[in-house]
Structure 1
């Protein structure tokens, strides 16, 4: 009798569970890429692991036309599209992206025979805008070429409206309203668990030298929108809240940076635009601009939006007709932009100019070379002006001189050289770097492809030299030595001449 009762109860329990299982099957997660729902294999799904949203990488990568290869023996996922190469390893919290190693907030895992990776990695390294809807269990991805939903008009009220659901129109067009959240005022970001996604924190916002610099806990890819009348750039940081800010943090209203009399800039405004999930919005309003382009990058905990503002009123540089090879030497920073600070509190701009003037002096002795300097004193030409000077001159070579720094890691040392994509720039970088490393005697950190404005937007072979680390005691001592500077200057000239075959 006892066995019969137990059997009956067990059967009843099975019947009770069956509808629950059926209902669970109907709430399967979804991935929407550029407005189209992806067909997920039977066992592939979006999962949450210790508050990290993880998505099947093969499904996303292949739909973006990346080539994906799985090495079962090494547990490596290799993703390739043109020159972009990414390697992930199951269980390893680091990934290889090009020539760099990046950290993941969660190691890739195999779940139901499918490799899943953190949603944050997909956003940062594959250039996608990512939104996670916890209620609907849906990941929405947008590639850089996918047109964002645009406001009905270019008013300042619309620029700060949610991209997913526009708020009702405010009673007036004040700047306070344009930065107001369409939802209720935010609560304090104590637990950081909104929508099961890790909330990033903003600790500082600055604008100087045509750069917006935002200090963050973790790298994040923002959504950037441009609006007209007036010209504005709107920068949205998803899953992001304010942390311990040095500036006043707005409570459901607008905050402003003190920007002084920066040319072509009206102001920079910021607010916590949304609360669930948290989203920080920054608006850069410009004036008297004929055109503006921007480039974004993330360096050492800082998101940098590099603006290339073109002002038609700037005078054109002198155009030479001597028939000589034109070499532009660019001492980085200067004037109001000191660059980094050395371990003994010297400014990078001083080192850059001192070395560049020594390079100039040697090049002036070369009969087949005409040297042009972007600055010869402690002034600040903008990066756009430096680029324009070189391009208008139709220069043969562009060399930008800098000092490196990682204050938090004073043990880091060495010389490295950057170029951007062009084969001619890479050739120039390899030759000059070889000479410079030999002259400096510092650790060889190699030649690297880097997207920096002065080498990206110049049209000729262009390189940027990071001669050494001013944050390293030994490097700084060498870099500030007159004799070592003279050796380095001769090495740079020797490299330029070798490239030009002179």
Structure 2
């Protein structure tokens, strides 16, 4: 799964590639990925010089998001991003960073009229994380997105005060064109915006929520919130019609509930730009929704059902991302998939659980897609299975978490898996692996053993061992969820 600590430090600092993988001066073409999306270059291909990846300047500009300027007389490249200023001179290993000099392993060069820069040296100072995949000669870069969402754990304020609600107003599926010449701020008549549709009725039966509009397609953004439990439906490009407007008091309306899981319904004209109607179901406990096929034109409905515990099992790597290479030439992706499928089979026997897999075959799923899969399905737990790699003498089981709410889950998983493997206990650890950082439910990543260790690897590819590990993971999940 990862290099030992000393290699990881070298990787982040200088993207120093192992000589046994590529040779000291290997001319191999390097594949680049940014947040698991393949980057292509129409100029000189990225390649290795003295163990460092150098790339065309365009990669620095477009993918890292820096501003680059060129001084022809001084043959100097200046790279600026936020409060970081880096100055490099062609064919010189001395860099100036915010006024201070630093030495590089390789110097910038001109190749076929293209300026080639050391990727890692620049990238790490711009907040980029790096992972080297020797099996595929790939550099995987990860940058934080400014718009990364965060889970909402507190209550949403009154529906008549969207600016204080703590929830970002969703973007419309089909934004209006703004053709209304009179926004209604004067005393004259206003022209209705044809892109805004009137909601004519809101009803909650003993089975489902039904919303009707005068015209147009209804496609809400939906959120599940806790403390207290609510389901929030935001309908973009909509307003309440006159019959519903009459029910508002200070822009907040209420309707009684006939549903056993719902206390009441609240609704409002939540926002003006874009026009958005918000409907909130205040729940008596935990509940889920399932969108239904519309029975009538301009109608949207969703059944409200009892919450069913749902778990995502993530088999690490897949397809062109094979993961670590074992001591006998096997791939990590084979171990992770086989074990994950065994966990799924065991958990599926409990009808109280819904089990979802990020991949069920040799498919490559980008890390962010794995995260979105779990978050969008609002699952209760996320568990990722991996095998580790380091020097041959290292052996043992490690379990990783990132957020505080994942610690208890990590402890339960680790206790069970260590007992099942019989490998040395390498403890529960905190790390920034994307699938356990960006998911919004308790999430852990378990490194079952070291594929680079002869004893660990021999066991890990035996079916009886995988059965034992899978049983321990399934038992840990059920114990954490309180299922006996």
Please give the TM-score of this superposition, normalised by the length of structure 1: 0.45
